[in-house]
Amino acid sequence: MPYFYHPDMKSQYFHFQYLAKGHFNIYQYISDNKSNLPYRDTFNYLPLTYLTFGTISAILTTLLPSDYATWINDWSADQNKYANFPYFLLILKIPYLIFDILIGYLLYKISRSIFIFKLWIFNPLSFYLIYILGNFDVLPAFLTILSLYLLNSKPKYSFLIFGLAIALKLYPLIFLPFYMLTVTRKPLQIIKYSFLALLPIIITILPFASNSTFWSSFLGSGLTQKILELKYLGFSVYPIIYFIILIFALFSKKLDLPKYIFYLFLLFISTVHFHPQWLLWFLPFIFLLKHKFTKDVLLLLLLQVLIIIYILLFNDNYLFWGHLIPIDPEFVNLTSPYTIIRYKFLVNPDNVQNNIHLLICIFSIITFASYEKSIRHTNN
C-alpha cells in the first residue's frame, strides 16, 4: 500500500478534497477556476463518486500530517519527493483495503469455499489492480458482488445496491440485463427492478442535470468511445457480440450469472483497448466460476500473461518503473519497455501491443470454446 503509486490516485484525491472546502458542484468549480488550479484536468466521474470519496477524503485527512495538503496540491517536478509520501499512500488506500476484504468475505459467503476467499485475498492480480494502481473501482466492484449476494433472497435491496454501483461508475450497466434475467423473465418485474437500479443515478444526477459543464465533463470519459471503437464493415463489434451473448442468456433455463460475466470479460478484453483498472470489474465473478478444469486454468493463466504484456506496452512509465517512486523518485526516469522497443529495437510498440491484443482475442475465443465444452461434458 505505501510503496506503490500511480498518479491517477492523486488526481482523484486532488478533486475529492474540494467537497470538504464547501464546493458541492465540482464540475462548475473546476471550469470557473481552471486557470488558477495546480492541476487542470476535468473531473469526469459521477456526482455520487465525488460525494462519497469527498467525504472519505475529509475523514482520512484527519489521519494525515499537515504536509498532505501541500502534497495533494503540488504538481511540480518535486511532487514525489515528500518524506511522508509513502504514509500518504498508506492512509489513502485504507478504504480500498476494507472493500477488498469485504469482497473476499462475500465471495466466501456466496461460494461457501474458504479456498476462494484465500485465493481472492492473496492473488497478485487484485493486489496490482487495487493497491498498486490505487483506483476507486474497488467500491463499485464490492457493490456488484453485494448485489449478487442478495439477488435471490432480497432482489429489491439487491437492485438498489446495484444502482449505487451504477451511480458511482456506469460500467455495471453492462451486467444489469444478466442480473435481471437471473431473477425474473416477467416484464412488470423487469420494469420494477430496472427502476430500482436506475433510481440512485437519477437522484444523484438530478441536481446537475441543467448544468452543461457537468455533461461536458462526464461525457469526456473514454469507456463508451472505447467500447464502440473496434468496427467491422462499419459496425461496432462489441455491442453486436454483447447482444448475441444476451440472447443466449435469455433462452437459458437457469442462468449462471458468473459464467455470463466471464463471457463478457472475454468479449471486453478482446474488443476493447482497456485500461488496466477496468479488469477489476470482472475479476470477482471469475473467482465464482463453479466449473474448474486444468485446461481452462492454464488458458486463463496464459491470458493473464498476455494481459500483463499488453499493459506493460502502454506509453506510460507510471505503469512500469513509475509504480516504485515512493521508494525512490528516480524510478520514474528509468527506461520503460515502450521506450526500449521503440528506440533500441526500432519497432513501433503500438503495433506490438495491437498484435498482443489480437493474441488476447484468439485465446479468449479458445477459452470460451474450451469452457463451454467442459460445462457440457460435466452436465452430460
Q: Tens of pLDDT along 2-45?
A: 999 999 999 999 999 999 999 999 999 999 999 999 998 989 99
Same domain for 19 and 135? no
Q: How confident is the model at residue 226 (pLDDT cuts 50, 70, 90)?
A: confident
- Residue 292: per-residue pLDDT: 58
| Within a domain: 57 | yes
Same domain for 79 and 189? no
Same domain for 23 and 124? no
* Percent of the chain residues topping a pLDDT of 90: 76
- Of 92, 120, 152, which one is at a domain's C-terminal end? 92
- Residue 136: per-residue pLDDT: 94
Q: Closest Cα to residue 363, out of 309, 324, 323, 327?
A: 309
Burial class (CB in 10 A: 0-12, 13-18, 19+), 344: exposed
Q: Give 67's DSSP letter.
A: T
Same domain for 74 and 106? no
- Residue 379: per-residue pLDDT: 66
Q: For residue 100, how many C-alpha atoms fall within 13 Å in the half-sphere facing its CB?
A: 24
* Residue 293 predicted with pLDDT over 60: no
Same domain for 72 and 114? no
- Of 274, 290, 306, which one is at a domain's C-terminal end? 290
What's the pTM value of the predicted model, to 2 decimals? Answer: 0.93
- Residue 216: per-residue pLDDT: 84
What's the mean pLDDT when you consider all of the chain? 92
Average pLDDT over residues 83-90: 96
Return the C-alpha cell found at 69.
495538503
Same domain for 73 and 140? no
| Within a domain: 45 | yes
Same domain for 83 and 228? no
Same domain for 190 and 280? yes
Q: How confident is the model at residue 310 (pLDDT cuts 50, 70, 90)?
A: very high
Same domain for 134 and 165? yes
CB neighbours (10 Å) of residue 61?
A: 17
| Within a domain: 162 | yes
Q: How confident is the model at residue 91 (pLDDT cuts 50, 70, 90)?
A: very high
Same domain for 112 and 65? no
* Residue 291 predicted with pLDDT over 60: no
Rounded to an integer, what distance in angstroms lies between the CA atom of residue 123 and that of residue 142? 16
Domain with 175 in it: 94-207+223-290
Domain count across the chain: 2
Same domain for 103 and 38? no
Same domain for 58 and 161? no
| Within a domain: 151 | yes
b (16+ CB within 10 A) / e for 82-116:
bebbbbbbbbbbebbeebbebbbbbbbebbeeeeb
Average pLDDT over residues 207-228: 80
Which runs of E-coded beta strand occur in the chain?
Answer: 231-232, 235-236
- Of 76, 92, 108, which one is at a domain's C-terminal end? 92
Rounded to an integer, what distance in angstroms lies between the CA atom of residue 81 and that of residue 21? 26
